[in-house]
Structure 1
Amino acid sequence: MRTRITTAAIATGLLLATLTACGSSDDDAKPEASPSTLSQADRDAALKAAGLPPRPDDAAAAAYVKALDAIDTDIAHGKTDKAVSRGMDTCGLIKRFPSDETKQADQTNKRWSSPTHPEGHGLATAKKILTVTHKQLCPDF
């Protein structure tokens, strides 16, 4: 799992680097953009190329965490950014294995650990996380 996450992160980084490498050779050319200066549209395009949904806005992220908290407050354990990141990764899992619900649940259980649940929250909770994630973050997957 960590290999896939690392690979996806590297692929996204390379894509972002490729997007920013389009400079001119003029002496008065502007410096190349870094990932932090890319437009949201460029970031969303890079995420799409990596098989991930666009990052939700603050209101959607808050609604997502609220839905996770309705299952169990220890799932997000107060860390919105971490929960959204894990959710986007879960969307990638849904997209890569659309008809393998067993694999989705198993990987989700492993991915969604917390300090009080270092081995995950169990398959029943993982299936609920999958449902919420699919509905809230990537309904088109």
Structure 2
Amino acid sequence: MRTHQAALLSAAAALLALAGCTGGPGADAEPTPAASTPTTPAVTGPGTGPGATQASGIPPEPTGEKRVIYLATLGGIDPEIVNGQDDQAISRGRDQCGAMKDEKDPTKRVAQVEQRFTGPNHPSGFGPTKSALILATVQANICPTY
């Protein structure tokens, strides 16, 4: 058990080091703004909408620089984690935050990540070491207060 905690702490330290190294040439360039499209507000009933999602422990999607850092860090751990499916990687991270709201045991959190984050060549997850790094990435970029 202490080995898993040490691995988690090491992963968190590595993540913090990686978060400071987000750019190469052109990293300071302004992002291209997305085209705005008019939207019609959706009709929601009780227990639906963003407030309900946040109340259930699922935070809002990361945007801007947080989104870029999150996806780049996951890709740095293993390119297959994102595998061109940005929205899926974000959805899995948000779902993990919801699962972590009530689960405080680091070992169980890593096990949850291993089940949640899978890929074509990793149908059973990415293993405990990479899962600990994924967990640290999720916490740092999507739900830092969990």
| TM-score category, normalised to shorter length | 0.5 to 0.7
- Runs of 4 or more off by more than 3 Å in structure 1? none
Greater fraction helix: 1
Q: Which residue does 1:104 correspond to in 2?
A: 109
> Do structure 1's residue 51 and structure 2's residue 57 form an aligned pair?
yes
Decide whether the 8 Å contact of 2:62 with 2:141 is kept in 1: no
Question: Root-mean-square deviation (CA), in Å?
Answer: 1.6
Decide whether the 8 Å contact of 2:59 with 2:94 is kept in 1: yes
1:1-141 alignment, distance < 5 Å:
16-18=44-46, 42-43=49-50, 45-98=51-104, 100-141=105-146
Give the unaligned 5+ runs of structure 2: 1-43
Give the unaligned 5+ runs of structure 1: 1-15, 21-41
Question: Computing the radius of gyration over CA atoms, which structure comes out larger, 1 or 2?
Answer: 1
- Following TM superposition, by how much is the alpha carbon of 1:62 offset from its aligned partner in structure 2, in angstroms? 2.2
Q: State how far apart, in whole Å, the 2-side matches of 1:83 and 1:58 are.
A: 15
Q: State how far apart, in whole Å, the 2-side matches of 1:107 and 1:50 are.
A: 17
Give the count of matched residue pairs: 103
Decide whether the 8 Å contact of 2:116 with 2:125 is kept in 1: yes
Decide whether the 8 Å contact of 1:76 with 1:82 is kept in 2: yes
Higher relative contact order (CA 8 A, sep 6+): 2
Structure 2 length-normalised TM:
0.65
Structure 1 length-normalised TM:
0.67
Q: Percent identity?
A: 35
- Following TM superposition, by how much is the alpha carbon of 1:17 offset from its aligned partner in structure 2, in angstroms? 2.7
Q: State how far apart, in whole Å, the 1-side matches of 2:116 and 2:47 are.
A: 29
Q: State how far apart, in whole Å, the 2-side matches of 1:68 and 1:75 are.
A: 6
